[in-house]
């Protein structure tokens, strides 16, 4: 992680999850904003303005994706993990709402959070290509599975 020290100390990461905030902090991220989700676009835009990446906890993702797109900020989803770019695919075009009812075990949630952190680092560095939509990762039967969100999937 030392080669990322400069990036990690300067970038602002927004998260809605205290566990993820702790993990990011343990890795060395310095500017983490733990956000309380408010269903008001103007308020959320004001709160998230200036962030470099937004990491979802899986709640109100279509709303947050729209806010992040309007602000020009990459958005990392939480029920399945993918990176939605501001000028890329829209949440509803990817049919991500089909994953909203998925509930994860605490262990599965930690695995997905680790993948979200990895994707955050990928977005911020040129080390590895992020998992841009429509590609995604989901947990299925205790195994990670790479998927294409445009494929016909049974959840």
Q: What is the dihedral of CA 100, 74, 95, 142, to 10 degrees?
A: -50
CATH topology of domain 2-148: Rossmann fold (3.40.50)
Cα distance between residue 82 and residue 143, in whole Å: 17
Q: What is the pLDDT of residues 100-149, one digit of tens each?
A: 889 999 999 999 999 999 999 999 997 899 999 999 999 988 899 999 99
The number of beta carbons lying within 10 Å of the beta carbon of residue 24 is 23
Contact in structure between 83 and 59 (CB atoms under 8 Å): no
Cα distance between residue 96 and residue 23, in whole Å: 25
Domain locations in the chain as residue ranges: 2-148
Q: Is 60 exposed, middle or buried (0-12, 13-18, 19+ CB in 10 A)?
A: middle
Report, in this order, helix, strand and coil percent for the chain, each rounded to 5.
40, 20, 40
Q: What is the pLDDT of residues 23-73, one digit of tens each?
A: 999 988 999 999 999 999 999 999 999 999 999 999 999 999 999 999 999
Closest CA to 75 of 44, 101, 98, 29: 44
Closest CA to 151 of 104, 138, 143: 138
Contact in structure between 61 and 78 (CB atoms under 8 Å): yes
Q: 18-27 vs 106-124: helix axis angle to the nearest 10?
A: 50
Q: 41-48 vs 61-71: helix axis angle to the nearest 10?
A: 60
Q: What is the pLDDT of residues 61-81, one digit of tens each?
A: 999 999 999 999 999 999 999
């Amino acid at each position: 992680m030392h080669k990322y020290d400069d990036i990690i100390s300067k970038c602002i990461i927004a998260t809605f999850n205290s566990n993820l905030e702790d993990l990011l902090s343990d890795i060395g991220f310095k500017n983490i904003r733990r956000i309380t989700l408010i269903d008001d676009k103007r308020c959320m835009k004001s709160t998230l303005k200036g962030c470099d990446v937004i990491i979802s906890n899986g709640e109100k993702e279509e709303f947050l994706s729209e806010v992040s797109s309007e602000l020009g900020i990459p958005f990392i989803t939480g029920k399945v993990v993918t990176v939605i770019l501001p000028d890329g695919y829209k949440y509803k075009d990817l049919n991500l709402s089909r994953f909203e009812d998925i509930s994860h075990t605490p262990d599965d949630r930690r695995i997905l959070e680790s993948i979200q952190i990895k994707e955050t680092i990928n977005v911020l560095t040129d080390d590895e290509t992020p998992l841009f939509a429509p590609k995604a990762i989901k947990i299925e039967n205790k195994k990670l599975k790479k998927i294409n969100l445009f494929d016909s999937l049974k959840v």
